[in-house]
Structure 1
């Protein structure tokens, strides 16, 4: 009978494409991974990988075994989820990723409320760029991720829209528009702006809108965190565009004003992302079920995957 642990290691190697990357992910030495694969190949009497300078590729036999292994791992995960009572287990961890704004201004409240329901569970949060969160989810460093806006990803990364988030023009007290409630997109032409770095999804989204409306901003500064951007706006360096939830505290204190753009669609989607090759573990499913109270349509995800929480 095949060793289940060796099948797990084999599957990770197929995902990573190399023994060294699989070893790093599994917290094993490369020689240990290599030895497990050799023993599995010996037990099956066939070669599972073609070795090359750039890594490994499955042989025809390896492709067949990969398909069976994926179904075995999925079935075991679904069985675990079906019978596990999360409220009764002694402990568990949920590894969550998020883009900076969501990780700073949205997730902490969710996590605190969830912890009141499940005080024995640990929630781990990592913030990164959109592509960084997606990469970590793909590599199983994170169970789920929460991002804003666009994501150029292919399976196994899946996306689910939780809500549409309004983006507002944020101005400091010294700005002429501080007392205004509405603004035209054309009013942003040549305005000093504090923006995210070139190449980020947020910057690309905003630049596409500006091109559509023939707006050329004057980039006063490029900063990589919402907190730093807000401080720059408060200091009078320029204006910016952020999700309304990013500036709620500053709005309440009167440090900034949030001005609505009337003639352009300034919205982005708050999304859940996950790796569809790996079913949700019981603790992650419990967290998503908790979120479904706020986002009832989230239950469609479980219905679609035929795995009821």
Structure 2
């Protein structure tokens, strides 16, 4: 059954029997046979076929969602059994929200590869909501987020502090002021992340805490785009010190000195609520909890 599910998932993601066969190193008739066997097993058709592409029908969407979860669990089971007799090795799937994933995680991975070269990490970057979904569906081994995790089925543990400040272009008139208040920024354009991200959650929390309502706001889906936009003078933003340390050194961005800032939030480690972990996951979590790994600024 696991082979049928693997073939099915591959066909869905490649949207084509020929490409799936090439990926799986199988013949196209063999791929078709696995799909037919799976459809007979569940008692209904799962795919809508056209000349070039295949698409999921409603039943296929259900099977695809659960197949991804089953394959994820199967991989974890196999890795756990392998770990009984082997050292830390194999695949490690990591999910991280943008700030941690883009500005902190690469340094942690470099230390991991130096100490455990047989571990092969893969990284998925997404907002907090997306990382929570991946973990819930057993598609990643470890998650690191800066937003709030809603699910009660996951284990969440704070691992580091993150400092957030309001930033402007290094050429902004406010860059040299030392006695600003948040109300001085009422007429500025605020550039914020999308709903679901930890940075947006922190920004909305800041607005609520200070009872502040900006008159103009733009929403962007990338921290890098926000930094470039602020540097270009399009507006102001609330960002993590991790994300802006290079621009601060080059004086392209400036932190505003406002009472009540920086805001402190937590980076959180997210793992399945189970006592079983692969050795690869264990050594990675140990590195995450080593505070020396965060001395990158």
Q: Give me the TM-score of the superposition, normalised by structure 1.
A: 0.67
Distance in 2, matches of 1:143 and 1:289, equals 14
Residues 157-212 of structure 1: CA deviation (Å, up to 9, x unaligned): 22110112111111102212212456433333332111112454432432233133
Change (3 A) 1:24 1:233: same
Asked whether 1:227 is paired with 2:229, we answer no
Equivalenced residues, count: 252
Change (3 A) 1:229 1:183: same
- Indicate whether 1:138 and 2:136 are aligned: yes
Which residue of structure 2 lines up, in the alignment, with residue 45 of structure 1? none
Give the secondary structure class of the aligned counterpart of 1:268: strand
Please report the RMSD computed on the Cα atoms of aligned residues, expressed in angstroms: 3.8
Are residues 1:254 and 2:251 paired? Answer: yes
Q: Residue by residue, what CA displacement relative to the aligned partner does 1:7-43 show, whole Å, maximum 9, x if unpaired?
A: x89xx9xxxxxxx88x989x995665678899xxxxx
Q: 1:168·1:266 contact (CA, 8 Å) conserved in 2?
A: yes
TM-score, length-normalised on structure 2?
A: 0.70
Structure 2 residue aligned with 1:289: 286
- CA shift for structure 1 position 256: 0.6
Unaligned runs of 5+ in 2: 14-23, 25-30, 44-58, 64-72
Aligned to 1:214: 211
Matches within 5 A, 1:90-239: 92-155=90-153, 157-180=154-177, 183-198=180-195, 200-239=197-236
User: Does the 8 Å CA contact 2:164/2:238 hold for their aligned counterparts?
Assistant: yes
Instruction: Tell me the equivalent position of 1:63.
Output: none
| Alpha carbons of structure 1 residues 260 and 130: separation in structure 2 relative to 1, 3 Å | farther
Q: Distance in 2 between matches of 1:219 and 1:178?
A: 20
- Give 1:287 deviation, angstroms: 1.3
| Consecutive unaligned residues in structure 1, runs of 5 or more | 1-5, 13-19, 39-52, 57-69, 297-309
8 Å CA contact 1:194–1:220 kept in 2: the answer is yes
Q: CA deviation at 1:267?
A: 2.0
Question: In structure 2, what is the Cα distance between the partners aligned to 1:75 and 1:135?
Answer: 20
Verify: 1:273 aligned to 2:270, yes or no. Answer: yes
Provide the rounded CA distance (Å) in 2 between the counterparts of 1:144 and 1:179: 42
